[in-house]
Amino acid sequence: MHCSTVQPVGQFCQSEVCNGRKLGKYYCEPCRLFSDTDEPIFHCKDCGLCRMGRGLGIDYTHCHKCDSCVEARIFDDHICLENGLHSNCPICAEDMFTSTDAVCILDCGHYIHERCLDEYIMHDYKCPICLKSIGDMSHRWTQLDAYLARNPMPEEYANKMTTIACHDCGNKTQAQSHFLYHKCNCGSYNTTEVSFEKALEVVDGSSTTLERSLSQLSAFTMERTLSALSAVSA
C-alpha cells in the first residue's frame, strides 16, 4: 500500500523504498494475521489460531481434553468437557471456538459468551445447557429457607413427602412437599419434582397416560369455561 511492491506476505516490507517498514505490531506467519492493537496476542499451535493473551505457560494453558486454551488461573479447577469450546453459544448460537468476543467457562464446564451471560443472569441462575446453578447460590438458598419457614403448608399437607431431582448434585431424594420450592439434601433448591411423572410410569409404563390425562383436563376446563361464558351472557 505504501510502495506498491508485490512481495511475499510478511511483517516487514522488502522494498528499498520502504526500507523495512513494519506492517503490523503483531504478525503471525501460520495465520497470516496482522494486528496493530496494543493488546497482547499469541499463537496456539494446538488450537491452530491466534488468541488474545500473553501466551501459553504465562496466562493460558492448552487443555487437550477440552481442545482449547484455558486461563491459567482457573486451569486446575476447571471441569473438562471434551471439545467443550467447539460448539455454538447456547444463547446467541454463534460459534465460540473462533469467536472474537470474550468467552467464559461456567462452573459446570460449559462455555458461553461473556456478553450473553451478562444478559442471561438478569433473569435466570441456571446453566442453559445442564441446568446446574451458575454460581454460589447459598445466600439465595438461605432466603428461601426463611421464606418457607414463614409460609408453611396447610395442615393436611404438612407431612407429605415428594420425590425430587436435584440439578446441582444430580441425585434423586425425598423432600418435604411444598407448593413452591423443594430443598435437596445437598442444600440446593435447584430441583424438579418428579413424583407425578414417576407415578404415571407405574400406572401405565408409557407417556399415553399423561397425554390422556392432559386431554381430559383440557376438555373439562373448556366445558367449565363455556358454561361460565353462557351464564354471563344470560
What pLDDT does 93 receive? 92
Q: Which domain holds residue 165?
A: 138-193
* Same domain membership, residue 109 and residue 92: yes
* Rounded Cα distance, 122 and 91, in Å: 13
* Same domain membership, residue 206 and residue 178: no
pLDDT category of residue 2 using cuts at 50, 70 and 90: confident
**Sequence letter at residue 225:** T
Asked if the model's pLDDT at residue 96 lies above 50, the reply is yes
Closest CA to 177 of 143, 155, 200, 153: 153
Q: Render pLDDT for 150-202 as a digit per residue (tens, 0 to 9).
A: 988 888 888 888 899 999 999 999 988 888 899 999 999 999 988 644 443 44
Residue 20 in domain: no
94-98, 196-200, 220-224: the lowest-pLDDT one: 196-200
pTM of the model: 0.65
Residue 93 in domain: yes
Residue 34 in domain: no
* CA distances, 152 to each of 114, 144, 174 (Å): 39, 12, 18
* Rounded Cα distance, 183 and 166, in Å: 9
What pLDDT does 223 receive? 52
**106: Cα within 13 Å, side-chain hemisphere:** 26
pLDDT category of residue 99 using cuts at 50, 70 and 90: confident
Which runs of E-coded beta strand occur in 36-79?
41-44, 49-52, 60-63, 68-71
